[in-house]
Structure formats: C-alpha cells, structure tokens
Structure 1
Amino acid sequence: MSRKDHSTQGKTSDDADVVKGRFLEFSPNERIVQVVEFESEDPVFAGEMIMTWTLTAVPEGTTVTIVCENVPEGIRKEDHDVGLKSTLQNLAVYTE
C-alpha cells in the first residue's frame, strides 16, 4: 500500500504506529489505568502516556470516560480523538 492511501502519517514509520502497553490498575466494572508507550525515533511522538478509563453504569448501558495524560506533543488532538473513537467503537462491537 502506498503512503497516499493513508489518511494520516504514522509515528513509528511512514504508515505505522507501534505502541506497547501495560496495566497499572484494573478494577472490574469501574476503572482501568494503563501506560501506553509510543515507539518513535522522533522525540515529539515518543514517550509514555497514562490512560485512565472510568466505567459508569447508565440506563442505556455504560458510559466510558477516557482521560489521557502525558500525550506526546506531536500527536494532534484530532488524530488522538479519531483513534480513541475507533477504539470505543471496537469495544462496543466486542461487548454487544
């Protein structure tokens, strides 16, 4: 696939993002805290981000709130929002 087929440029390579993650806290049905490490030779895209997922029961199902701390400065909010939205859509498909 050529680079022009991608809507955004990757941070690890031209068309890929590589991350490693580990859980710091797992409270079933309540809260998940994880560290996500972005791999990149460019320091504006590299680093560790902490993501805290809070789950709240509501009559329609579950509200998921995600707070991200220490997001690498090179990651645009718009791109990050697209990634989180995709993750939540995948989670909804998996759990339904």
Structure 2
Amino acid sequence: MTRIDRAGKVVAAAPEAVYAALLDRDALEAWLPPAGMRGRIDHWDPRPGGGFRMVLTYLDAEGSPGKTSDSTDVVEVGFAELTPPNRVVQTAVFEADDPAYAGTMTMTWQLAATDGGTEVTVTATDVPPGIDQAQHEAGIASSLANLAAHVEAAG
C-alpha cells in the first residue's frame, strides 16, 4: 500500500490569496521551508508542465538528515495540475544517492473556503520510504503555519 502523509490548517485568508501564495516564487521561498530550514528557488516556471527546483538548507547542519548532502535537500518540483483557486498538484523528486529517497512523490494542495477563511489540506502520496512519516507530517504542518502567517500578514 502507498504511504500517505497529511496535514491541514485553516488559514484566515480567501482561497484566492492562498492559491496566489502557492504560485509566487518569492512567497514560496519565504513560507515553504519548514522550521529549521531556509529555501532558495533556482528556476521557476509556474504553469502546468512547468515547475521549480528548490534547495532547502538546514540552519543547524549538525546531525541534520539531509537527503542531498549532510545539510541540504534539493528537490525538483513539477506542476502537474493547477486549478485556481482550489487545487495545486505537484510532483517532487529529491536529488539523493540513497535509494530510500528515490521515486516521485505527489503533493496535493486542496483549498476549500470556510467561515474562517480557507481550509488547506496537503496530501503527500508515494512518499519515499527514507522519509520519516512523523517528521514529514510535522514539516508539512510547519510549512502550513508559515503559509498562514505569510498570507494573513499580507491580507
């Protein structure tokens, strides 16, 4: 059975604002890296069939579980589906020598309007077995908290 990792959060902003933050290069660099990391996008092509390459660097490299190097995770992300303002589907492939991180993971960002703003649900399928599930779900939750802070401050 394919492993599925999930996290969700209600963001106090309209779906259109949340969707825009999913497709803005500067915004993604600011909010996508989870706590303890910083990110840099090397190329950017925000259209179906396009994508981006993100380098995530651990702020404290001591004992960091980097997939690409001791202190970094490099991931090629493709935009498989863009359905404004409700859904973004990404494919993610980590650059790693360890086969435990091989394969294509699919990240689905589902946005639903609620009384409090937008319920954002992230579902990751085909997660490589080298990625610890609890840490991955905590990382997604951290990114969602960053997303909320980003769009709520802008709103």
Question: What is the TM-score with the length of structure 1 in the denominator?
Answer: 0.87
TM-score, length-scaled by structure 2: 0.56
The residue number in structure 2 matching 1:75 is 131
Q: Does 1:46 align with 2:102?
A: yes
**Structure 1 unaligned runs (5+)?**
none
Equivalent of residue 122 in structure 2, options 63, 66, 73: 66
Show the counterpart of 1:94: 150
Question: Residues 25-84 of structure 1: CA distance to partner in whole angstroms, max 9, x if unpaired?
Answer: 111121111101111000001221011111011111111111111100010011211221
* Distance in structure 1 (CA, Å) of the matches to 2:138 and 2:72: 15
Task: Give identity over the alignment, percent.
Answer: 45
Structure 2: runs of 5+ lacking an equivalent: 1-58
1:10 counterpart SS class: coil
Contact 1:39 1:47 survives alignment (8 Å): no
- For 1:10 and 1:43, the matched residues in 2 are separated by 14
Q: In the alignment, which residue of structure 1 is the partner of 2:84? A: 28
What SS is found at the alignment partner of 2:105?
Answer: strand
Please give the alpha-carbon distance, in whole angstroms, between the structure 2 residues aligned to 1:47 and 1:91.
Answer: 26
Aligned-CA RMSD value: 1.6
Instruction: Give 1:2 shift.
Output: 6.7
Distance in 1 (CA, whole Å) between partners of 2:76 and 2:102 is 11
**Paired AA for residue 87 in structure 1:** S
Runs (4+) of structure 1 exceeding 4 A deviation are none
Amino acid at match of 2:77: G
Q: Distance in 2 between matches of 1:83 and 1:72?
A: 15
2:72 to 1, 7, 16: 16
SS at match of 1:17: strand
